[in-house]
């Protein structure tokens, strides 16, 4: 026996999550693109669009609450709805990181970039790509893919480390660059957090499919370990 009505409601929610995900992907890529081109108008637009992301998140949250209240989900259905609640909050936070990057571009005003952006767009691209695949894995409840994505976080961390060292070199050579270096470090940090949140989404997907809670290795630890030893 299939609960047709409930199933189609769940499908609707999943579609909305994908839509929210694509808004966030667009915001991440767009925020770095605007920074790279020093396009302040584009950054202002992205900040305005973040409100739409927040609105969408609350709309999905409301949908989920109604489904939990009216459809009495159990077992897999319950894990799915409860985890989706978590996932949309991760997505909204990722949107905030993109907004943060847009804000940095505005704060920099007329100031030129300390260096041409090469690794930062790479980080953004990598993070958005991981996010895209993580959401596909969520929709398909594909445990294998969900397990494989967080491993790629190491690449993002490696890029972050590289950017960090590079910017430190600038600061050491000329302390007057500290502010401009700091802007870019914030940007990189935001992007590094994006990838971490993708890991959280993957953990939720595994939980939905298997019922097992588990934390996939956080590369944050690796990063800080690296800092202490150097």
The phi-psi region of residue 66 (left if phi > 0; otherwise alpha if psi is between -120 and 50; otherwise beta) is alpha
Least distance to other proteins from the beta carbon of 8, Å?
Answer: 10
Of 3-11, 21-29, 50-58, 182-190: span binding other proteins (CB under 8 A): 3-11
Which residue number, 9 or 220, has a Cβ lying nearer to other proteins? 9
Of 48 and 65, nearer to other proteins (C-beta) is: 65
* Both structure tokens of 109: 């005003």
Does residue 85 belong to the site contacting other proteins (CB under 8 A)? no
Q: How does DSSP assign 19-44, residue by residue? A: HHHHHHHHHHHHHHHHHHHT-HHHHH
* 69 in contact with other proteins (CB under 8 A): yes
| Residue 59 interacting with other proteins (CB under 8 A) | no
**Residue whose CB is less far from other proteins, 72 or 148:** 72
Among 71, 136, 177, 218, binds other proteins (CB under 8 A): 71
Residue from 65, 118, 169, 178 touching other proteins (CB under 8 A): that is 65
Q: Where are the alpha helices (DSSP H) in the chain?
A: 4-37, 40-71, 75-108, 119-140, 143-148, 153-173, 178-210, 219-229
How buried is residue 137: exposed, middle or buried, by Cβ count under 10 Å (0-12/13-18/19+)? buried
Q: Which residue, 65 or 118, is less far from other proteins as judged by CB?
A: 65
Residue 76 in contact with other proteins, rule: CB under 8 A: no
**Is 5 near other proteins (CB under 8 A)?**
yes
Q: How far apart are the first and last CA of the chain?
A: 61
Q: What is the largest CA-CA distance in the chain?
A: 71
Binding site for other proteins (CB under 8 A): 1, 3-6, 62, 65-66, 69-72
């Amino acid at each position: 026996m299939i609960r047709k009505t409930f199933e189609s409601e769940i499908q609707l929610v999943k579609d909305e999550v994908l839509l929210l995900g694509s808004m966030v992907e667009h915001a991440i890529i767009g925020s770095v693109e605007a920074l790279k081109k020093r396009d302040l108008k584009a950054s202002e637009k992205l900040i305005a669009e973040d409100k739409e992301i927040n609105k969408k998140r609350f709309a999905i949250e409301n949908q989920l609450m109604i489904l939990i209240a009216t459809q009495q989900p159990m077992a897999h259905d319950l894990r799915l709805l409860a985890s989706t609640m978590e996932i949309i909050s991760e997505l909204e936070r990722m949107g905030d990181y993109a907004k943060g990057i847009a804000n940095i571009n505005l704060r920099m005003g007329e100031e030129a970039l300390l260096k041409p952006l090469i690794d930062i767009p790479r980080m953004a691209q990598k993070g958005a790509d991981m996010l895209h695949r993580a959401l596909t894995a969520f929709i398909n409840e594909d445990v294998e893919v969900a397990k494989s994505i967080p491993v790629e976080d190491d690449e993002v961390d490696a890029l972050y480390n590289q950017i960090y060292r590079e910017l430190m070199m600038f600061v050491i050579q000329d302390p007057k660059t500290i502010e401009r270096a700091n802007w870019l470090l914030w940007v990189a940090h935001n992007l590094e957090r994006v990838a971490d949140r993708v890991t959280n989404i993957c953990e939720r997907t595994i939980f939905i499919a298997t019922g097992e809670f588990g934390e996939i290795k956080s590369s944050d630890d690796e990063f800080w370990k690296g800092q202490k030893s150097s």
